[in-house]
Structure 1
């Protein structure tokens, strides 16, 4: 995971606003309430505090995976952490497993998958848009140092995949049905394929296209995540909530006899 010196820190101000910062020699962080040298942030370290030259207090943190994905540079809309967590559960991942992903996007879900399978596991991720793949590689390498991810430029349809080699498949594509046959063949029997889809029309089309393949529909989920604002003695739901993000469609593979 990203270190501190030469790595990433997350600064939070008094209003809870978060800022992802890569520390560098001679660097200065600019807040609308003043500046603070990177050396002071490094000296404070994770769990410490610094002040801008105008007296604004900032807390220093090592970014969690959730925080990093929400604040990293994006070339595409990332898989929200609430959905990524559900995908890991639906795929039933464990250390040492092999996972197939398409498309990589900004690399958010890739990071969740890589950490779930651990350094002894493997994630093969495919992205056909070069600029998205470039950003994803940069995002992933800035946070995750383990060498358990293989990036592939191209479509999964054109990939040469080993039969029944993967413990799970994650699809984040506009038309996942186009690669469904290839993905199903690469999936081990009795293991799971999960697709991330923005609207229910896509989900229904994917389910219809799965007919004739050795895949049985397990469930269709829409993940809710309701945050609360607590300022004692008052508590109420936050006014700005992340409501609908996507539908998760999960299949289990039958054994082909």
Structure 2
């Protein structure tokens, strides 16, 4: 049985309601109603956090009238939330109180069910910040960005947040092409973007299944304003990507191991036709992501004495996440590495000339070494 409050919420959202049928308008265009204070409507995700135990957290699936939500702390009805304001208190069967809110980006990524290992929120934000993207709706052209390795969609959301301001007008001025070879990962990443904040970033991204190099070959007119790679072997795509990057546009490579960044650097060093140069390499330290460490700061009561004491210490038992290495490369102008190619060609010629000359005993080799040691005695 659907509550009256749930019916009223659906009428406000969709304009109509009838038993057994409910729909939501295209949420990607309803950005004005996706803020922290917007009332819960069908399709929203809700996070509950314990009042006494803030570490007790659970994230709902998209709200559906009549559905039940089983959590480790008890069962809730979706109708308990639909039509109510955020920061409403709800009670579990045991009587414990929880505060219901719209999830933050961090809450959403960490607590969302996953099929791929996510880049944790603070790390994803740091990766995007290193690209230094600055665009808005006044741009004269459409800026295309590419992400290779959709995975969980956490980095996708972080990139969308950076380009979202360019899409406030009727004509979008920025689009992210998120590519993954795994169709299931692409599907999950797309769903995670749609379910976050009523799909406010859904207009900013297009999802594709396939290989990044093949995708670029099939879309020959796309010039890229930035690229993000989260791949096991990013070096194999550098040649094609560098050709499509605009001059000075960033290529940001995220890898779990520094040796993978070194392989990318070596690939560029060995092939002077790849017009990229490394401008920055950073390590994202393990912790709670973004090189941060979680602390436990609270007031608690000692059971034995009833005394209230302050707790201020690094959180014990919290999951250590994040970490990795980021290489930031920039596209060079045409001809920037021509001098490097000439120097290498000349060096190789000199080495070959040296190898073809066989030194006489008086010119070099062991005889020369002995003569330097004993001087004119020889």
If the length of structure 2 is used for normalisation, what is the TM-score? Answer: 0.64
Aligned length: 257
Find the aligned partners of 2:76 and 2:206 in 1 and give their Cα distance: 38
Matched, 1:107 2:153: yes
Name the residue aligned to 1:54: 94
Name the residue aligned to 1:185: 243
Name the residue aligned to 2:206: 150
For the structure 1 residues 200 and 15, does the alpha-carbon distance in structure 2 shift closer, same or farther, using more than 3 Å as the test?
A: same
For the structure 1 residues 131 and 32, does the alpha-carbon distance in structure 2 shift closer, same or farther, using more than 3 Å as the test?
A: closer
CA contact (8 A) 1:163 1:185 kept: no
Q: Decide which structure has the larger Cα Rg and report it.
A: 2
Q: 2:276 aligns with which of 211, 215, 230?
A: 215
Matched, 1:129 2:166: no
Deviations 1:130-176 (A, max 9, x none): 11111111111112334121111100121224467222110000000
Task: Tell me which moved more, 183-192 or 25-34.
Answer: 25-34
- RMSD (Å), alpha carbons: 2.0
Find the aligned partners of 2:232 and 2:72 in 1 and give their Cα distance: 39
Matched, 1:34 2:92: no
Find the aligned partners of 2:135 and 2:89 in 1 and give their Cα distance: 35
Q: 2:259 aligns with which of 201, 211, 214?
A: 201
Task: Tell me which moved more, 93-102 or 190-199.
Answer: 93-102
The Cα shift of 1:11 comes to 1.1
SS at match of 1:8: coil
The Cα shift of 1:42 comes to 2.7
Gaps in structure 1 of 5+ consecutive residues: none
The Cα shift of 1:209 comes to 1.0
Name the residue aligned to 1:141: 194
Find the aligned partners of 2:227 and 2:275 in 1 and give their Cα distance: 14
Q: 1:172 aligns with which of 217, 223, 230?
A: 230
Greater share of helix residues, 1 or 2? 2
Find the aligned partners of 2:322 and 2:107 in 1 and give their Cα distance: 19
The Cα shift of 1:78 comes to 0.8
Task: Tell me which moved more, 38-47 or 167-176.
Answer: 38-47
Greater share of strand residues, 1 or 2? 1
If the length of structure 1 is used for normalisation, what is the TM-score? Answer: 0.92
CA contact (8 A) 1:222 1:244 kept: no
CA contact (8 A) 1:8 1:20 kept: yes
For the structure 1 residues 142 and 31, does the alpha-carbon distance in structure 2 shift closer, same or farther, using more than 3 Å as the test?
A: closer
SS at match of 1:190: coil
Q: 1:20 aligns with which of 54, 59, 62?
A: 59
Q: Which structure has the higher relative contact order (CA within 8 Å, separation 6+)?
A: 1
Gaps in structure 2 of 5+ consecutive residues: 1-30, 137-142, 285-290, 300-309, 336-378
